[in-house]
Structure 1
Amino acid sequence: MIVYRLAKEKYKHDLSGKGAEIAGGRWNSAGHAMLYTSESRALCTAEIAVHSPLGILPKDYCLISIEIPDSIDIKDLTAAQLPEDWASVPHAVSTQLIGDKFLKEGKYAVMKVPSVVVPGDYNYLVNPLHDAFARVKVKKTERFSFDKRLFVR
């Protein structure tokens, strides 16, 4: 399976999950490394758009295509399995606890979760400390330019 990630060019080969470890996110609390990826280029774009200040066009980005081998088991979470507040903005602590537990248990290298930004689409959260992570590979990196219409006031 190929998943996608948008990152600043200087981080295009960094799959460590360090940024999420420093800042935390919807699916992990600070101090827990996690790599956020999406099932499509479009979802990656939407995820960046909702986390960028209006009126500021993100620059110096690369689209990273990442291969997750089919032999790696994926934990699949549906919206019905999540707490009622899972899609709240700002994000709830409940989803961070789910992600932190996923990382700590170490049973799966990847967890599929529903997107808040694009209902019906999915993000793939990768545990960079899992043994199977060594088989996750960057297949391609390419410069990415955002359509400025997404960021106008």
Structure 2
Amino acid sequence: MISGWLIVKRAFASQAFDGEGARLYGGRWSSPGKPVVYLGGTPAIAALEVLAHNARPGLLSASFAIVEARLPEDVVLDLDPRALPEGWNDPADPSRAAAVGDAWLSSQASLALRVPSAVLPLERDLIVDVRHPRFGELQTGEARPFAFDPRLAG
């Protein structure tokens, strides 16, 4: 089994795996209208992703939860980072990476795509297709309280 981690505001923990946020707003690896769930390959990269995408005053004092998700290895496709287009991790323009993710979603090739993190490319994230026929094989743990260390506030 492969683990992925999701940090979410506690108020949204019960809906954390519905893909609605990505459907509404899109993300690095998906265009708006595509319901997916973004998971960090480790709790540390999941936390770093939250910080990178939500750098607002007071964020660290919000009430968060962390959830581990587990997927069978045979439902995860590894993306070769060498195949990524130039500028895939440009913070101002996610369209290049989103085109890669959208093509993967259209192919239905796997339940999850393991990709490099745009925040720290040595780390990996998982993109989960909530519409994939094998989505029921995703196992989620209990949402546990999560708090950011206040020193991260600067």
Judge same fold: TM > 0.5, yes or no.
yes
Please list, as runs of the form range in 1=range in 2, the aligned pairs for 1:53-132 lying within 5 A after superposition: 53-58=55-60, 59-72=62-75, 74-132=76-134
What fraction of aligned residue pairs are identical, expressed as a percent? 25
Cα displacement (A) at 1:54: 4.5
* SS of equivalent to 1:12: helix
Q: 1-side partners of 2:95 and 2:81: how far apart?
A: 16
How far has the Cα of 1:84 moved from its partner? Answer: 0.6
Q: What stretches of structure 1 of length at least 5 have no aligned partner? A: none
Number of the residue aligned with 2:10 = 9
SS in 2 for 1:13: helix
Q: Which amino acid aligns with 2:9?
A: K
* Count of paired positions: 151
Gaps of 5+ in 2: none
Counterpart CA distance in 1 for 2:150 and 2:57 is: 9
Give the letter aligned to residue 82 of structure 2. Answer: A
Give the residue type in structure 2 aligned to 1:88. Answer: D
Q: Tell me whether 34-43 or 140-149 shows the greater mean CA deviation.
A: 140-149
Amino acid of the structure 2 residue aligned with 1:110: A
Distance in 1 (alpha carbons) for counterparts of 2:92 and 2:141: 33
The alpha carbon displacement at 1:130 in A equals 0.3
Superposed counterparts of 1:128-139, under 5 Å: 128-139=130-141
> Which one has the bigger helix percentage?
2
RMSD across aligned positions (CA): 1.4
Q: TM-score, normalised by structure 2?
A: 0.91
Q: Which aligned runs of 4 or more in structure 1 are off by greater than 3 angstroms?
A: none
Do the aligned partners of 1:6 and 1:64 also contact (CA within 8 Å) in 2? yes
Listed one character per residue, the Cα deviations across residues 72-130 of structure 1 (whole Å, up to 9, x for unaligned) are: 2x221132110011111113311111111111111211000001212311000000000
